[in-house]
Amino acid sequence: MLPVQPIGCNSLNMSLWVIQRDLLLAMRRRADVLTTLFFFIIVVSLFPLGVGPEINMLRTMAPGVVWVAALLASMLSLGRMFSSDYLDGTLEQMLLSPQSLSMLVLGKALAHWLVTGVPLVLMSPVLGLQYDLSTEALLVLTASLLLGTPVLSLIGAIGAALTLGLRGGGVLVSLLVLPLYIPVLIFGAGAVEASAAGLGAGAHLSLLGAFLLVSLVLAPWAAAVSLRISME
């Protein structure tokens, strides 16, 4: 008889495999990583074109604009998280994997963050400079993005899982996910404004940290449930 239980594989291991695979796919198309980043840069640069060059106004707008752009960039690439796996049948295979689906989903969300979130965080100080932000505001902006972008990927995973296989999913997902992103946006942009107003960004940042912890625990599970629902 063949062994029934698979060997040499546990849930954590599985997440690592998934992360590794998604990063591999991203590297195969290195353009992917760059394009999310450039989307971010371009959106941030579009606003002054539409709004006009007055520097005082731009400085006030800056945190909001950078955060909205990060949110859009992260959201735009949600489509990729599951849909290609769905179309070619890999997702079916994942559902049939003997390991916990939540861990797989966690792996995919982390990979998504590594590919889309991290480059944004690294780029944000430069963009902040374009809007003439002070050094301290730049630091707070970067910190808030560092805490906030993983939350975006994790929450996004739920939306991506729910809209799987629906036509127009790309836009539907934004409809589902944006309302959930809003608290992150408010506290993220708020942190920078608070620090600019001399109030200290500590409270805002610790709230963002709390969001991160909660979504690390709950989002993979919710996304796994959604996946099972979508695939039924």
Partner 1 sequence: MSILQGSDLECVRGDRRLFKDINFSLEAGELIQVHGPNGSGKTSLLRMLCGLAIPAHGKICWHGTDIRSLKGDYYGAITYLGHLSGVKDDLTAIENLRISSALAGVEIDAKKAHDALQHMGLGGRELLPVKVLSQGQRRRVALARLLVCRTVLWILDEPLAALDSAAVKLVQNLLEQHLVQGGMVVMTTHQEIDIAAGATHRLQLA
Partner 2 sequence: MAINWFNYSSPASFYFLAGKMIPPFTIAATILFAVGLYIGFFVAPTDFQQGEAYRIIFIHVPAAWMSMFLYVMMAIWAGIGLAFNTRLSSMMATAIAPTGAMFTFLALWTGALWGKPMWGAWWVWDARLTSELILLFLYIGFMSLQAAIDDPRRADKAGAVIALVGVVNIPIIYFSVKWWNTLHQGASVSITQSPKMATTMLTGMLIMSIACWMYAIAVILMRTRTIILERERHTAWVGELQGATK
Q: Scanning the structure block, which residue is given the tokens 């959604």? A: 226
Residue type at 204 in one-letter notation: H
Shortest Å, Cβ 223 to partner 1:
17
Q: What would the two tokens of residue 100 be?
A: 């916990």
Taking CB within 5 to 8 Å according to partner kind, which of its own copies, partner 2, partner 1, none is near residue 36?
Answer: its own copies
Q: Does 167 bind partner 2 (CB under 8 A)?
A: yes
* Alpha carbon distance 135, 129 (integer Å): 9
With CB under 8 A as the contact rule, which of the stretches 73-81, 100-108, 156-164, 194-202 interacts with partner 2?
156-164
- 140-156 as b/e: b if 16+ CB within 10 A: bbbbbbbbbbbbbbbbb
Site residues (CB under 8 A) for partner 1, limited to 12-51? 13-14, 17-18, 21, 24-25, 28-29
CA angle 15/17/20 to nearest 5° reads 110
- Residue 99 C-beta: closest distance to partner 2, Å: 22
Q: Which residues contact 33 (CB under 8 A, 6 or more apart)?
A: 26, 115, 116, 119
Site mask for partner 2 (CB under 8 A), range 202-221, x = bound:
--------------------
Residues 171-230 that bind partner 1 (CB under 8 A): none
Query: Of the ranges 63-71, 110-118, 172-180, 193-201, which one interacts with partner 2 (CB under 8 A)?
Result: 172-180
Compute the Cα dihedral for 122, 124, 129, 135 and give only its sign.
negative
Indicate which single residue of 17, 21, 35, 99 sits in contact with its own copies (rule: CB under 8 A).
Answer: 35
Q: Is 138 in the site for its own copies (CB under 8 A)?
A: no
Q: Please tell me the distance from the alpha carbon of residue 156 to that of residue 164, in angstroms, as a whole number.
A: 12
| Residue type present at position 153 | S
The footprint of partner 2 on residues 13-72 (CB under 8 A) is 29-31, 34-35, 38, 41-42, 45, 48-49, 52-53, 55, 58
Residues 143 and 159: their CA atoms lie apart, in Å, by 25
Stretch that binds its own copies, among 95-103, 120-128, 175-183, 209-217 (CB under 8 A): 175-183
**CB neighbours of 134 closer than 8 A, spacing ≥ 6?**
196
Residues that bind partner 2 (CB under 8 A): 29-31, 34-35, 38, 41-42, 45, 48-49, 52-53, 55, 58, 129-130, 132, 158-159, 162-163, 166-169, 172, 175-176, 178-180, 182-183, 222, 225-226, 229-230, 232
